[in-house]
Amino acid sequence: MKRSVVTILVAAVSALAFASTALADHGRHHDHGRPNHGCGNGTLVVNVSYNVKNDLDTGVPIGNVQYDWAVDAYARRVLVFQTGANTFCATTTSRGTFTTLAGHRPGGTGMIPAGITGTFNGGYVTAPFQGTLLTTPLSPRAGDLGTKDFACVASADHNDATKACPGTFDWFSQYFTADSGGDWQLARYAFIYHARGHGTWTDILSGGTIRTHGDILATAKAAKHAEDHSTSRHHDRDDDDHGDSPDHD
């Protein structure tokens, strides 16, 4: 139990630190050859931003099914670095708002009504991947690409596998050939969601392990109860630690 509590607390702090660092760097100038977000030394080949609306967000899998729990609108920035002849690394940062759908909570601990609003921020970094840049990209490699309406519609049961998003904008295909990215995978990510009076949920990938903490809850009373319960568990851990300490003469 102690190990679980410590892991959760460290994970939450790590998520905040990662997201804060990524977002703080949002407006910073990037020189060629400068290390960025774990991508290592490389040449900046894509530096774009765009707004997204009507995207759907997923929570933790429930019975191997991922459910859509919110509609998102956010600003995203994408940076791609070329680290070798045909090797690249990408990082994104996102900041925006969400509105819940009636259904499963993101943390998978119960159900939630529609209409709860909140904010989120975070980002991800890829592992190095192989690719070939398009000779003529489908979108500018630098600057503001405007607003992308994903136009997502959740299925009746909110199963993410059966959603419809006819307006989805895939930034990767704008800059790379179709045979690129066969080895694409995320190295790490961290996203933090908060709804005032309804709790906070963090979703983190670090060291190959996905960790989540908290949840977005239906009522302020439920959120307060969850917060008190978490605080109580933390104090119990402290008491146990003090009890395990050896006596000193």
CA dihedral of 111, 117, 122, 126, whole degrees rounded to 10: 60
Rounded Cα distance between 220 and 200, Å, is 12
* Confidence (pLDDT) at 220: 63
For residue 97, is it within any domain? yes
Residues 192-234: pLDDT tens digits? 999 999 999 999 999 999 999 999 999 766 555 545 544 444 4
* Confidence (pLDDT) at 219: 77
List all residues 6 or more positions away from 70 whose beta carbon is below 8 Å from its beta carbon: 56, 57, 98, 99, 100, 101, 106
142-149 and 103-104 strand pairing? unpaired
What average pLDDT is seen over the chain?
82
Rounded Cα distance between 219 and 116, Å, is 9
What pLDDT tens digit does each residue of the chain (249 aa) get? 222 333 333 344 444 444 444 434 433 444 444 446 678 789 999 999 999 999 999 999 999 999 999 999 999 999 999 999 999 999 999 999 999 999 999 999 899 999 999 999 999 999 999 999 999 999 999 999 999 999 999 999 999 999 999 999 999 999 999 999 999 999 999 999 999 999 999 999 999 999 999 999 997 665 555 455 444 444 444 444 434 433 333
CB 187 within 8 A of CB 132: no
* Confidence (pLDDT) at 38: 74
Residues 15-26: pLDDT tens digits? 444 444 443 443
* Confidence (pLDDT) at 59: 95
For residue 249, is it within any domain? no
List all residues 6 or more positions away from 102 whose beta carbon is below 8 Å from its beta carbon: 111, 112, 113, 114
Backbone angles phi, psi at 22, to 5 degrees: -65, -45
Structural domain count, the chain: 1
Quick one: which of 114, 42, 112 has its CA closest to 80?
Answer: 42
196 is written with which tokens?
């005032």
In terms of residue numbers, what domain contains 27?
2-244
